[in-house]
C-alpha cells in the first residue's frame, strides 16, 4: 500500500485478514458438502456471498488482485445460479483451487500489507476460472434478439409506450411479490401476479418481442404451478420471482427498436400477417383463443405420460421445474418432457385474446418538463392577478362590474391552480415500494431479520419533492439496518426479539408531510457522538450545557461517523450529510428522537409542494411575513390579565385556561420597530406537531395564495424562515417555518 500505515488502517487490515480466512474456510465447507443431497443452490448462494464479502472488503482496502479474482469467481457461481448450469466435478475443483489461491493472497497481505506480489498467481487462476466459465456457459441464442422491429403496424411511439407500460406492470408485480407471506396460501395474489405477467407476455407477442415473450412464458409456468398447489409460498420462491422480475427489467432496459429497411415489410410484419385469421383486415383484433392455456403437468396428463396422483406427488415437493422432478423420479423420459414443452409453447401462442373489444384510454403520458412549466406559469398568473387587484390605478374607484369579473377570474385561476397541483401530486407508494426492496436486500446482506412495517403509502406528495427525498430515505434506512438494529446475538443478550423492526410511515401534518423512519435498535449514544465531535475539532460550546437535539445535529456534519468498522453500505460519514442537504433544497427539516437501547426515530418534515400554499400575510414593523393557513388556529386580542411574565421560561398567555408560550416575532427576527407589547398587538395561536404557541404581530394584512420562492443565496439560511413570496403590491413577504420556529423557541 506504499505509504506507512496508521494504526487505524493497520487494525482494519488485520480484521480483513482474520475475516478473510474465516470466510474462505466457510466457503470450502459449503463446497465440500455440495453432494450431500441437501439444497445445492442454497450452498452455492452461500459461497457466492462469502466471495462477495471478501471482494467488497478487498476493493475498499485497495487489494486489487484479490478483488479481481473473487469477482471472476462470482461470475462462475452466477453461471450455476442464474444460468442453471450443472456444477461439474471439474468446475467445482476450479472453485476449490480459487479458494486456495485466495488464501495464499491473504497470506501475502498478512506479511506485506499488500497483495502486489501475488499478481501472477491471481492472474493464472483467474484465467483458469474464465476457461471453466466458457466451458459451462450456454451458447448465445442470436435467433432471439432483444429487439422490437418497427413496421407499418408498430411505430416507434407505440413501442416506447409499450415498454413504459411493461415497466409499470413489472413494478406492480414486484409489489405483489414483496407482499407475499409464508404463513398461508396466497392464491389470489399469485393469480394477480400471473395476470400481470400474462399481460406483458401477450403484448410482447403482438409487438414481435420474442425474448420478452419467451421469458414471461417461463415465469408463467412457475406461477401456474404455484397457484394450482395452493400451498404457503416460501422465501426461496419469492426470491426466485424477484430475480425473474429483475431479469425482465434488464431485458426491457436493453431493448432495441430496429427500423425496417425502406421498401421491406420486415419479419415482424410478415409474422403478424401470417398469424391473422383468413379474411381479417390488417390491424384488426386477433381472433378468439381456440384453446385454453395448459400447464406442463396438465399436458403430460393429457398425453398419458403421468397420472394425476404422480403429478400431485411431484407438485407437493416442487422446488425446481416440474419436468426435472418427474425425470429424476423416473416417471417420464426426457424426450417426452421436450415434446410436452413444445406443445405448451404452441398452445400459449394461440391463447391470448378474448375477442375484439373497445378500450377507451383515460390517460396520456406527458413530459414532466411541460408540467413543471405549466406549474410555473400558474404561479406567475396568481402573482399577476394579485398585482392587478392591488394596482394603485384602481384605488378609490367604484368598479362593480370589474369586481364581479375579477371574482370570476379569481375562481377560475384557483381551479386551474388546484388542478395543476393535483396533476403533480402522486402517492408515495412507488417510493415506499423501492424501500421495501432495499430493506429486504440489506436484511439478507447483514443477516439481520427485519420486520419492515409500512403505513401511509397512499399519502400524496409533489412529484419533484418525492424525487428529492428518495436518497435521504435510502441513507437513513441503510444506517438503521447496518448501525441501528443490533446483530441477532446482541439483541438476544438485550432481551429483545431476534427480529428487528423498522417502521416507515407518512402522514399529513398541516401544510407538511411527515415521513418517519423508526427502528428498535441500540439508539444514538450521546457521549460517543460528543467524543467524535471533539476528536474532529467541530465541538462547539460546553457539552454539558448542550441539549440532546443539539448533540444529534453533529451526525449531519460532512464525514461524521461513529461506526467502528466501515461496511459496504454505510459507515463512511457521507449519508446523513446528503440527507440534510437534500431536505434543505426543498425547505424541509429533520428531527431526531432516540432512546438508548430502544431505538431511533428520524422525522422528515417536508412541505406538500414547493410552489404554492394558502397563507395569512401579517406585518411586523415594516416587514411582511406569511404563515401557512394550516398552522393557524385563531387570532385573539389579549388583555394584561391574560399575561404571565416570567424571567426564565418566557411570557405565557392564558387562553381559556390553557397557558401557551408567547413568541414575539419582532424579537425573533430583530425588527426594532416591531410591536413588543402583547396588549397592543395581535396574537396568533399556531400549532405544529402537537405543540401550540402564541405569535405576537403588529397587524393582519389578509388571506391569499402564496407563490413560494427560495431566498437569495447571499442571505444564507435564516432560521425560522422557509422562503419568500412576492405580494400583489410588489413587496416581499417572508414565509415563516412554524415548526422550526417552535423548535427554536420551545426546546
User: Could you give the CA distance from residue 465 to residue 470 in angstroms, rounded to a whole number?
Assistant: 9
**pLDDT number for residue 180:** 79
**pLDDT number for residue 317:** 64
Beta strand segments in 632-714, E:
632-636, 643-644, 652-655, 658-664, 682-688, 691-697, 699-707
Cα 703 to Cα 626, 628, 629, 681: the distances in Å are 9, 10, 8, 18
C-alpha cell at 243: 430475480
Topology agreement, domain 147-272+295-349 and domain 612-746: no
Find, among 97, 95, 119, the residue nearest to 108 by Cα: 119
- What's the fold here for domain 612-746? OB fold (Dihydrolipoamide Acetyltransferase, E2P) (2.40.50)
- Which helix (H) or strand (E) segment holds residue 623: the answer is strand 623-628
Tens digit of pLDDT for each residue in 318-367? 556 677 777 777 777 777 777 777 676 666 555 444 433 343 445 566 77
**pLDDT number for residue 694:** 92
> Which residues, at least 6 apart from 513, have a Cβ–Cβ distance to it below 8 Å?
459, 461, 506, 507, 605, 606, 607, 608
pLDDT beneath 70: ranges in the chain: 1-4, 35-38, 137-144, 181-185, 229-232, 260-294, 315-321, 342, 344-365, 510-511, 559, 561-575, 608-611, 646-649, 689, 712-717, 728, 747
> Which residues, at least 6 apart from 26, have a Cβ–Cβ distance to it below 8 Å?
46, 50
Query: Which residues on neighbouring strands pair with residue 525, listed in sequence order?
Result: none
**Second CATH level (architecture) for the domain 428-607:** 2-Layer Sandwich (3.30)
71 close to 63: Cβ distance less than 8 angstroms: no
Tens digit of pLDDT for each residue in 228-266? 766 567 777 787 788 888 888 888 888 888 875 544 444
User: Could you give the CA distance from residue 4 to residue 19 in angstroms, rounded to a whole number?
Assistant: 23
Q: Does domain 147-272+295-349 have CATH number 1.10.540.10?
A: no
Sign of CA dihedral 514, 517, 523, 524: negative
**pLDDT number for residue 620:** 93
Where in the chain are the domains?
7-136, 147-272+295-349, 371-425, 428-607, 612-746
Find, among 662, 665, 660, the residue nearest to 626 by Cα: 665
User: Could you give the CA distance from residue 711 to residue 707 in angstroms, rounded to a whole number?
Assistant: 13
User: Could you give the CA distance from residue 159 to residue 147 in angstroms, rounded to a whole number?
Assistant: 10
Find, among 389, 356, 221, 336, the residue nearest to 288 by Cα: 356
**pLDDT number for residue 574:** 45
**pLDDT number for residue 268:** 37
How are beta strands 623-628 and 732-736 bridged, if at all? parallel
**pLDDT number for residue 520:** 93
**pLDDT number for residue 273:** 36
User: Could you give the CA distance from residue 138 to residue 78 in angstroms, rounded to a whole number?
Assistant: 12
Query: Which residues on neighbouring strands pair with residue 148, listed in sequence order?
Result: 257
C-alpha cell at 83: 444460468
**pLDDT number for residue 288:** 37
- What's the fold here for domain 7-136? 1.20.120
**pLDDT number for residue 682:** 92
Q: Across the chain, which distance is largest between two alpha carbons, in Å?
A: 100
**pLDDT number for residue 699:** 92
Q: What are phi and psi of 497, to 5 degrees?
A: -65, 150
Amino acid at each position: 500500500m506504499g505509504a506507512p500505515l496508521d494504526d487505524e488502517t493497520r487494525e482494519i487490515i488485520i480484521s480483513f485478514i482474520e475475516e478473510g480466512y474465516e470466510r474462505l474456510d466457510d466457503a470450502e465447507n459449503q463446497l465440500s458438502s455440495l453432494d450431500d443431497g441437501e439444497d445445492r443452490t442454497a450452498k452455492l448462494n452461500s459461497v457466492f456471498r462469502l466471495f462477495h464479502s471478501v471482494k467488497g472488503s478487498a476493493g475498499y482496502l485497495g487489494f486489487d488482485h484479490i478483488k479481481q479474482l473473487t469477482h471472476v469467481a462470482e461470475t462462475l457461481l452466477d453461471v450455476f445460479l442464474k444460468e442453471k448450469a450443472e456444477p461439474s466435478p471439474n468446475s467445482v475443483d476450479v472453485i476449490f483451487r480459487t479458494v486456495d489461491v485466495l488464501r495464499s493472497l491473504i497470506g501475502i497481505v498478512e506479511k506485506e500489507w499488500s497483495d502486489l506480489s501475488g499478481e501472477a498467481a491471481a492472474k493464472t487462476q483467474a484465467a483458469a476460472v474464465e476457461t471453466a466459465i466458457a466451458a459451462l456457459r450456454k451458447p448465445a441464442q442470436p435467433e432471439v434478439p432483444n429487439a422490437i422491429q418497427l413496421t407499418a403496424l408498430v411505430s416507434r411511439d407505440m413501442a416506447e409506450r409499450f415498454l413504459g407500460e411493461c415497466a409499470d406492470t413489472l413494478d406492480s408485480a414486484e409489489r405483489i411479490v414483496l407482499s407475499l407471506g409464508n404463513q398461508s396460501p396466497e392464491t389470489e395474489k399469485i393469480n394477480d401476479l400471473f395476470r400481470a405477467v400474462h399481460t406483458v407476455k401477450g403484448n410482447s407477442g403482438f409487438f414481435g418481442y420474442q425474448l420478452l415473450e419467451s421469458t414471461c412464458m417461463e415465469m408463467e409456468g412457475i406461477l401456474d404451478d404455484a397457484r394450482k398447489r395452493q400451498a404457503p409460498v416460501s422465501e426461496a420462491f419469492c426470491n426466485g420471482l424477484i430475480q425473474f422480475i429483475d431479469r425482465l427489467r434488464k431485458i426491457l432496459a436493453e431493448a432495441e427498436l430496429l427500423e425496417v429497411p425502406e421498401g421491406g415489410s420486415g419479419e415482424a410484419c410478415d409474422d403478424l400477417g401470417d398469424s391473422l385469421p383468413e379474411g381479417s383486415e390488417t390491424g384488426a383484433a386477433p381472433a378468439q383463443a381456440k384453446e385454453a392455456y395448459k400447464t406442463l403437468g396438465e399436458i403430460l396428463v393429457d398425453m398419458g405420460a403421468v397420472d394425476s396422483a404422480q403429478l400431485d406427488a411431484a407438485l407437493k415437493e416442487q422446488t425446481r421445474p416440474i419436468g426435472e422432478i418427474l425425470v429424476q423420479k423416473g416417471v417420464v423420459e426426457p424426450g417426452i418432457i421436450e415434446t410436452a414443452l413444445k406443445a405448451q409453447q404452441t398452445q400459449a401462442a394461440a391463447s391470448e385474446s378474448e375477442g375484439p373489444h373497445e378500450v377507451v384510454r383515460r390517460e396520456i403520458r406527458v413530459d414532466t418538463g411541460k408540467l413543471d412549466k405549466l406549474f410555473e406559469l400558474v404561479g406567475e398568473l396568481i402573482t399577476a392577478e394579485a398585482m392587478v387587484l392591488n394596482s394603485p390605478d384602481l384605488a378609490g374607484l367604484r368598479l362593480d362590474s370589474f369586481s364581479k369579473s375579477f371574482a370570476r377570474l379569481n375562481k377560475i385561476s384557483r381551479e386551474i391552480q388546484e388542478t395543476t397541483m393535483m396533476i403533480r401530486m402522486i402517492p408515495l407508494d412507488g417510493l415506499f415500494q423501492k424501500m421495501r426492496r432495499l430493506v429486504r436486500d440489506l436484511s439478507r446482506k447483514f443477516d439481520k431479520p427485519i420486520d419492515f412495517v409500512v403505513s401511509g403509502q397512499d399519502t400524496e406528495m409533489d412529484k419533484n419533492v418525492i424525487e428529492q427525498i428518495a436518497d435521504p430515505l435510502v441513507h437513513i434506512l441503510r444506517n438503521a439496518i447496518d448501525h441501528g438494529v443490533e446483530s441477532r446475538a446482541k439483541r438476544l443478550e438485550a432481551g429483545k426479539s431476534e427480529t428487528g423492526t423498522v417502521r416507515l410511515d407518512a402522514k399529513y401534518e398541516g401544510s407538511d408531510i411527515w415521513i418517519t423512519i423508526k427502528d428498535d435498535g441500540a439508539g444514538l449514544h450521546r457521549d460517543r457522538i460528543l467524543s467524535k465531535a471533539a476528536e474532529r475539532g467541530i465541538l462547539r460550546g460546553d457539552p454539558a450545557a448542550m441539549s440532546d437535539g443539539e448533540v444529534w445535529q453533529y451526525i449531519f456534519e460532512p464525514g461524521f461517523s461513529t461506526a467502528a468498522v466501515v461496511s459496504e453500505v454505510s459507515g463512511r460519514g457521507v449519508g446523513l450529510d446528503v440527507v440534510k442537504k437534500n431536505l434543505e433544497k426543498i425547505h424541509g427539516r429533520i428531527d431526531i428522537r432516540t432512546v438508548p437501547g430502544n431505538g431511533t426515530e428520524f422525522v422528515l418534515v417536508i412541505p406538500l409542494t414547493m410552489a404554492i400554499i394558502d397563507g395569512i400575510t401579517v406585518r411586523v414593523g415594516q416587514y411582511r411575513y406569511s404563515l401557512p393557513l394550516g398552522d393557524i388556529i385563531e387570532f385573539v386580542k389579549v388583555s394584561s390579565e391574560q399575561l404571565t411574565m416570567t424571567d426564565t421560561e418566557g411570557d405565557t398567555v392564558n387562553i381559556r385556561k390553557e397557558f401557551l408560550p408567547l413568541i414575539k416575532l419582532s424579537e425573533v427576527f430583530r425588527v426594532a420597530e416591531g410591536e413588543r407589547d402583547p396588549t397592543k398587538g395581535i396574537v396568533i395561536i399556531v400549532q405544529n406537531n402537537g405543540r401550540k404557541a402564541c405569535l405576537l404581530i403588529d397587524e393582519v394584512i389578509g388571506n391569499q395564495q402564496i407563490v413560494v420562492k427560495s431566498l437569495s443565496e447571499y442571505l444564507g439560511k435564516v432560521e425560522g424562515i422557509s422562503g419568500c413570496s412576492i405580494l400583489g403590491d410588489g413587496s416581499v413577504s417572508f414565509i415563516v417555518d412554524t415548526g422550526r420556529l417552535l423548535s427554536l423557541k420551545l426546546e
